[in-house]
């Protein structure tokens, strides 16, 4: 028995040296120190040996057990170190001069649609502006004439941070900042024209039609004699460019605290041309974009005199527009991170710029 115990240390040493991973080492631990392992077996054997040998054998088994435990730790350290070295070597062996197939990547479908819409608005004199994803109650609600008790302020709909700030629930949250930024245009006799695309967040249950993270594009135009016909003209021109065909639009009344009057802008179904089909649920129209004439309180909050100036605003659902453009039925695909799924939606009008092709 004493010999058997002494041999166990050597056997473990041999097997541990051959273990190539922490998982293999764990298997060995179970094999040697587990409930039915070799050491437990030796402990059982203790019962069958003469009493005068028991003490020595018991001590020996304990020593072997301690030896195995410390060997496991040592070997594990060696294995982790070797793995780390392997990763460093792998990173260092990266060859920067390797030719790259630059056409293998693809832009996200929302980026593609967003860029296209941006280009169209730029040709109409609109500036493209960026805005934060984290903002505050003032910009997201207060400055937009949204009263304190409005359901949009509810914890159910808005993600509040522990700092008291919040994740913007709509791109309208940038209106006050952008209006202030360009207010000097008005004094100089020029209009304010800006679009501001961005990611928005709402505390929604996610399913095929709802997301808690989605994209919008807000647009504003302010000048001296702006009317609802300017709004209709801009929306019709822009949407006809996006869908590459003459688009018919209609306005229905809609309520949003930051516009007066407010509208829901529908486009005539591009598939059935208004006759009614499954795509437009037989109505002939598709709801696309809420909009309206900017409320005087919103202009005042931005330091603009509503007696002198007037404007329109719209909030285009970019995620929805991308769904329509590419015929996507399940909104979840956009945030899925699945390159396989997302790379299907590239062909629309995207081409690799010439200068990148040469790189
Ligand atoms: N911010 C609104 C929302 O996300 C959409 C909206 C409605 C934007 C009317 C506008 C507007 O600019 O005029 O629900």
* pLDDT the model gives residue 222: 98
Residue 163: predicted pLDDT? 95
Q: What is the pLDDT of residues 177-224, one digit of tens each?
A: 999 999 999 999 999 999 999 999 999 999 998 999 999 999 999 999
Q: Of 62, 65, 78, give the one whose Cα is nearest residue 16.
A: 78
The residue assigned the tokens 């298997």 is: 27
Cα 281-284-289 angle, rounded to 5 deg:
90
**Spacing, Cα 310 to ligand 1 middle (Å):** 17
| Ligand 1: residue whose CA is nearest its atom 11 | 291
**What is the CATH code for 109-358?**
3.30.930.10
Whether 290 lines ligand 1, by a CB cut-off of 6 Å, is yes
The pair phi, psi for residue 234, each rounded to 5°, is: -65, -45
Q: What share of the chain has pLDDT > 70, as a percent? A: 94
Q: How far is the CA of 318 from the centre of ligand 1 (A)?
A: 12
For residues 93 and 87, give the distance between their C-alpha atoms in angstroms, rounded to a whole number.
10
Chain mean position to CA 340: 17
Task: Point out the ligand 1 atom lying closest to the alpha carbon of residue 315.
Answer: 8
Cα(33) to centroid of ligand 1, in Å? Answer: 66
Nearest CA to ligand 1 atom 6: 315
Bridging pattern class, strands 134-135 and 259-268: unpaired
Q: How confident is the model at residue 65 (pLDDT cuts 50, 70, 90)?
A: very high
Residue nearest to atom 9 of ligand 1 (CA): 291
Answer whether the bond into residue 122 is a cis peptide, omega within 30°.
no
Best CA proximity match to 139, nearest among 302, 314, 257: 302
Return the pLDDT at 199. 97
The CA angle 50-52-55, to the nearest 5 degrees, is 105
Residue 268 tokens read as 């005539």
Centroid of ligand 1 to alpha carbon of 174 (angstroms): 12
Structure-model confidence comparison of residues 55 and 135, the more confident one: 135
Regarding the beta carbon of 219 and ligand 1, being less than 6 Å apart is answered: no
CB 313 within 8 A of CB 216: no
The half-sphere exposure of 143 on its side-chain side, counting CA atoms within 13 A, is 21
Mean predicted lDDT score pLDDT of the chain: 89
Q: How far apart are CA 340 and CA 342, in angstroms?
A: 6
Angle among Cα 287, 293, 298 to the nearest 5 degrees reads: 120
* Predicted confidence band of residue 103 (pLDDT cuts 50, 70, 90): low
Per-residue model confidence (pLDDT) at position 301: 98
Cβ 214 under 6 angstroms from ligand 1: no
d(C-alpha 285, C-alpha 143), whole Å: 33
**Is the Cβ atom of 198 under 6 angstroms away from ligand 1?**
no
Domain boundaries, the chain: 2-92, 109-358
Q: Report pTM.
A: 0.69
Q: Which of 192, 203, 260, 291 for a ligand 1 pocket mutation test, highest count of atoms within 8 Å of Cβ?
A: 291
Residue 152 in this model has a pLDDT that exceeds 80 = no
Alpha-carbon torsion (322, 346, 238, 241), positive or negative: negative
User: Is the separation of the CB atoms in 292 and 254 below 8 Å?
Assistant: yes
Residue 126 CB–ligand 1 contact under 6 Å: no
Say what the pLDDT of residue 99 is.
81
Rounded CA separation 162/122 (Å): 38
- Predicted pLDDT at 155: 63
Distance CA 141, CA 97 (A): 52
118, 240, 298, 351 from 112: Cα distances, Å = 10, 17, 31, 10
Give long-range contacts, CB 8 A cutoff, 24+ apart: 335-339.
335/211, 335/213, 339/106
Give the CA angle between residues 336, 198, 128 to the nearest 5°. Answer: 135
CA of 202 from ligand 1 middle (Å) equals: 14
**pLDDT score, position 102:** 67
Q: What are phi and psi of 227, to 5 degrees?
A: -130, 175
Measured in residues, the chain has a length of 359
- Report d(CA 118, CA 195) in Å as an integer: 8
Q: Which residue, by CA, sits nearest to atom 4 of ligand 1?
A: 170
In tens, the pLDDT along 232-261 reads: 998 999 889 888 889 999 999 999 999 999
Our answer on whether the CB atom of 315 is closer than 6 Å to any ligand 1 atom is yes
* Average of per-residue pLDDT across 121-147: 95
Highest mean pLDDT among 77-91, 202-216, 274-288, 335-349: 202-216
Tell me the two tokens of residue 22.
């922490």
Contact 110, 211 (CB under 8 A): no
Answer for the pair 252, 263: CB distance below 8 angstroms, yes or no: yes
Residue nearest to atom 7 of ligand 1 (CA): 290
State the Cα–Cα distance between residues 210 and 302, nearest whole angstrom.
32
Q: Is 317's C-beta closer than 6 angstroms to any atom of ligand 1? A: no
Pocket of ligand 1 contains residue 194 by CB under 6 Å: no
Per-residue pLDDT at 350: 33
Q: What is the pLDDT of residue 87?
A: 87
């Amino acid at each position: 028995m004493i010999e058997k115990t002494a041999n166990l240390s050597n056997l473990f040493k041999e097997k541990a040296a051959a273990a190539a991973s922490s998982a293999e080492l764990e298997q060995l631990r179970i094999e040697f120190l587990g409930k039915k392992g070799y050491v437990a077996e030796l402990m059982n054997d203790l019962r069958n040996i003469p009493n005068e040998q028991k003490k020595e054998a018991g001590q020996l088994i304990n020593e072997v057990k301690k030896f195995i435990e410390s060997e496991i730790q040592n070997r594990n350290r060696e294995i982790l170190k070797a793995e780390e070295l392997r990763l460093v070597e792998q990173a260092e062996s990266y060859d920067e001069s390797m030719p790259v197939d630059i056409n293998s990547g693809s832009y996200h479908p929302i980026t593609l649609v967003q860029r296209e819409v941006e280009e169209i608005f730029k040709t109409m004199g609109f500036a493209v502006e960026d805005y934060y994803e984290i903002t505050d109650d003032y910009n997201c609600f207060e400055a937009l004439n949204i009263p304190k008790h409005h359901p949009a302020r509810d914890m159910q709909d808005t993600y509040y941070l522990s700092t008291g700030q919040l994740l913007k629930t709509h791109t309208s949250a940038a209106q006050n900042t952008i209006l202030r930024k360009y207010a000097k245009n008005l004094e100089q006799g020029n209009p304010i024209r800006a679009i501001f695309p961005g990611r928005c967040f709402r505390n929604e249950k996610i399913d095929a039609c709802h997301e808690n993270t989605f994209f919008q594009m807000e647009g504003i135009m302010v000048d001296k004699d702006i009317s609802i016909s300017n709004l209709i003209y801009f929306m019709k021109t822009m949407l006809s460019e996006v869908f590459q065909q003459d688009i018919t639009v209609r306005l229905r009344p809609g309520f949003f605290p930051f516009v007066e009057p407010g509208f829901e802008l529908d486009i005539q179904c591009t598939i059935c041309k208004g006759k009614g089909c499954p795509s437009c649920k037989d109505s002939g129209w598709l709801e696309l974009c809420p909009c309206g004439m900017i409320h005087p309180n919103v202009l005042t909050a931005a330091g603009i005199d509503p007696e002198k100036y007037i404007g329109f605003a719209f909030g285009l659902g970019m995620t929805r527009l991308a769904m329509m453009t590419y015929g996507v039925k399940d909104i979840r695909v956009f945030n899925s991170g699945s390159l396989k799924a997302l790379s299907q939606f590239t062909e629309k009008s995207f081409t690799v710029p010439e200068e990148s092709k040469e790189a």
